[in-house]
Structure 1
Amino acid sequence: MKFSDVPGLDDVKTLLTEAVASNHTAHAQLFLGVEGSLNLPMALAYANYLHCENKGEHDACGTCAACYKNAKFIHPDTHFVFPLSNVKNDKDEERFKAEITKSWRAFLTEQPFGNLDDWTNYYGGEDKAAAISREGSREIIKTLALKSFESKYKVMIIWQPELMHPSAANGILKILEEPPPLTYFILVSNASERLLPTIISRTQIVTVPLLEDKEIESLLIKKHGVEEERAGKVAQLADGNLNLALRLLEKPDDNNTQRFIEWMRACFGKKYIVLVNFADEYHALDKLSQRNMLSYAMNMIRETLLHLSGANTINRTRGEELRFVQDFSKVMTVSKAEKSFTLMNDASYHLERNGSAKMIFLDLSLKLSRALTTN
């Protein structure tokens, strides 16, 4: 993977390439980003750039032997540590390692923007908590004790280090602080608050932000042939998460705009029978559609709040959505918008923890009806 394969994030790319050019690359870096950020693809592109034999000012060449191997994730001097659940059924440890490594490379090739859930589903570890075991730290130390095979550098990418067993996390502290010469650690995390402070203190943090709506929209139009109107809606729903945007493309249009408008009208009109029917329809949706509906609703409340505040320059709505926000703002107040957002966010929290979708949505609807109609 090259930097050009990672959309947007030009500031981060420049930071990394300039550090290499000036020979000021930190030996341990923490690529930090929230769920949905492209910190893993960025780490892969960075490792490729380090190994590239004919690197340019802004990117790897893409044609040398090192780039060819990195494109298939088989470069002998790029090493990976990643979380696994307890799926080891093969008594032959070496054969198991070979199989899981093969699966990892295939996953990176097929789903370069995938997340932890995608990975566990890919290798068959669903419904089991994934973690980096105590043996993982020993494997890191053992691997990096060897000389590099082809490249000047050795690169160790640790994905989701927050899922390390405490013993494993403590086990890498010394080598993280004093790695072998020309060895680089790249830790790729979505939750720095779950990392040991002693690990954070030994790394240089590289913040990888979410993509802008326009960057996702442009990619969907140019690379996936999506119509502009749908690309805009998907980008807004994805809220910077490219992986989510690509998953949304696989689903038919949920028509959340019309559903949200009718829902809000029923809440304002205290049409309780209609709200009960809405709860039944919501319950019939799949999990992703349920989450998307609440996410879309929270986005619309946010847009309404922006309109109320006069911050129209950063408003993301258009067409039918914009007209509704303008009308909705006439009967909304800042306090009502704040209360509505909090209720929706709480409902999303309970939904993520496998609460009954029907009960959650009906309870939310009744509370929204009360909040929106109380002065």
Structure 2
Amino acid sequence: MLFSQIPGLTEVKKVLLQAVQNNHVAHAQLFLGAEGALNLPLALAYTTYLHCQNPGEDDACGVCAACSKNLKFIHPDTHFVFPIGNIKGSKDEETFKIEKLKTWRSFLLQQPFGNVEDWANFYGGEDKQANISKEESREIVKALSLKPFESKNKVMIIWQPEYMHPSAANGILKILEEPTPNTYFILITNAGDRLLPTILSRTQLITVPLLSDTELEQYLMEHMEVDEKRAGKAAQLADGNLNLSFKILSKEEDNNTQRFIEWMRTCFKKDYIALVGMADEYHNLDKLSQRSMLSYSMNMLRETLLHISGANAINRTRGEELQFVQNFGKVLNWQKIETSVKLMSEATYHLERNGSAKMIFLDLSVNLSKTLTNN
């Protein structure tokens, strides 16, 4: 991957490029970002630049032998470690390792912005507990004990190290602290709080922010060939998460605006019979649509808070949405909005853990009704 293929993140790219150009690359770096941050693509582009035979000021050349191999993820001096479920079956160890790496490379080529869930769906491990086994630490030490094959640098990319078995994590501490010359570790995580303190203390932190709405909207219009209205709506719902925006656009357009307006009005009326019917409708949506509606609802409450606070300059709503926000703001205050967002956030948490969508939505609706009508 090349830096030019990644939207935004100008400052982070600049820091990484200057580190290589000034020969100040830390031997172990932790790319940390929230769910949806582009830390994996950024690490892949950084690796391409480290191996490039003719690097430019802003990017790898993209055409040399090293770049050609990196763009296919087959460079012999780039090593990957990643979580995977127990799908070995009756395959012998060597065959399984080869197939696993081949599948991983295919995933990177097809879904470079994917997450752990996408990866599990890709290799067929949706119902398997993914982890990085303790045997992987021995494989890491073994791979890095060899001299580079083609490049002057060796790169070990560990994706989602929070999935490492404790023995595996402890097994790499020594080589992580004292690697062989020209060996670089790049750890990529969305959950830094789940990593061992001993790993955190041995790595240089690179914080990768989410994309802005403008960056995301521009990328979608240029690369997904969608109009400004659809791109803007997807960017608003995705909240900086490029991977999520793809999924939103790949579905038929959800009528979240009308659904949200009707839901809020029904909560205000305390029409519990109607809310039960809405809970049935919500239950019949697929999981992405369920999450999308709650995300949209929290965004609309945020916009309402901005409106009643007088911060209209940064309000993102337009047309019908803006009109509703202006009317909604007349009957809300910041305490009601804070409580409502907290309730929706808790509902999202339970939804992601496979709770009953109908019961979660109905419980949320009843509590919202009490919150919104409470004087």
For the superposition of Structure 1 and Structure 2, which TM-score range results when normalised by the shorter chain?
over 0.9
Q: 1:212-263: per-residue Cα shift (whole Å, max 9, x none)?
A: 1111111111111111111111111111110010011110011101110111
1:323 aligned to 2:318?
A: no
**Residue-pair matches, total:** 375
Deviation at 1:374, TM superposition (A): 1.0
User: Aligned partners of 1:296, 1:289: CA distance in 2, in Å?
Assistant: 10
Specify the alignment match of 1:107 in structure 2. 107
Specify the alignment match of 2:298 in structure 1. 298
Deviation at 1:346, TM superposition (A): 1.3
Give the alignment of 1:1-375 within 5 angstroms: 1-375=1-375
Is the CA contact 1:78–1:156 (under 8 Å) kept in the aligned structure 2? yes
Deviation at 1:91, TM superposition (A): 3.5
User: Aligned partners of 2:164, 2:9: CA distance in 1, in Å?
Assistant: 28
Amino acid at match of 1:322: L
Amino acid at match of 1:294: L
Is the CA contact 1:221–1:227 (under 8 Å) kept in the aligned structure 2? yes
Q: 1:119-157: per-residue Cα shift (whole Å, max 9, x none)?
A: 111111111111000001000000000000000100000
Secondary structure at the aligned position of 1:205 is classed as strand
User: Aligned partners of 1:104, 1:78: CA distance in 2, in Å?
Assistant: 13
Unaligned runs of 5+ in 2: none
Secondary structure at the aligned position of 1:252 is classed as coil
Amino acid at match of 1:33: G
Q: What is the aligned-residue RMSD (CA, Å)?
A: 0.9
Amino acid at match of 2:224: H
User: Aligned partners of 1:126, 1:274: CA distance in 2, in Å?
Assistant: 35
Is the CA contact 1:90–1:96 (under 8 Å) kept in the aligned structure 2? no
User: Aligned partners of 1:249, 1:14: CA distance in 2, in Å?
Assistant: 31
User: Aligned partners of 1:167, 1:272: CA distance in 2, in Å?
Assistant: 53
Secondary structure at the aligned position of 1:329 is classed as helix
Unaligned runs of 5+ in 1: none
Secondary structure at the aligned position of 1:29 is classed as strand
Deviation at 1:302, TM superposition (A): 1.1
Amino acid at match of 1:212: S
Deviation at 1:336, TM superposition (A): 0.8
Amino acid at match of 1:195: L
Q: 1:50-81: per-residue Cα shift (whole Å, max 9, x none)?
A: 00000000100011001100010000000000
User: Aligned partners of 2:92, 2:307: CA distance in 1, in Å?
Assistant: 62
User: Aligned partners of 2:334, 2:91: CA distance in 1, in Å?
Assistant: 61
Secondary structure at the aligned position of 2:17 is classed as helix
The share of aligned pairs that are identical, in percent, is 71
Secondary structure at the aligned position of 1:360 is classed as helix
Deviation at 1:42, TM superposition (A): 0.3
Further displaced range: 122-131 or 67-76: 122-131
Deviation at 1:90, TM superposition (A): 3.6
Deviation at 1:340, TM superposition (A): 0.9
Amino acid at match of 1:270: K
User: Aligned partners of 1:355, 1:76: CA distance in 2, in Å?
Assistant: 44
User: Aligned partners of 2:117, 2:356: CA distance in 1, in Å?
Assistant: 21
Deviation at 1:312, TM superposition (A): 1.8
Q: 1:198-222: per-residue Cα shift (whole Å, max 9, x none)?
A: 1011000000011111111111111
In the superposition, the TM-score normalised over structure 2's length comes to 0.99
Deviation at 1:36, TM superposition (A): 0.6
User: Aligned partners of 2:91, 2:244: CA distance in 1, in Å?
Assistant: 37
Amino acid at match of 1:289: S
Secondary structure at the aligned position of 2:80 is classed as strand
Secondary structure at the aligned position of 1:150 is classed as coil
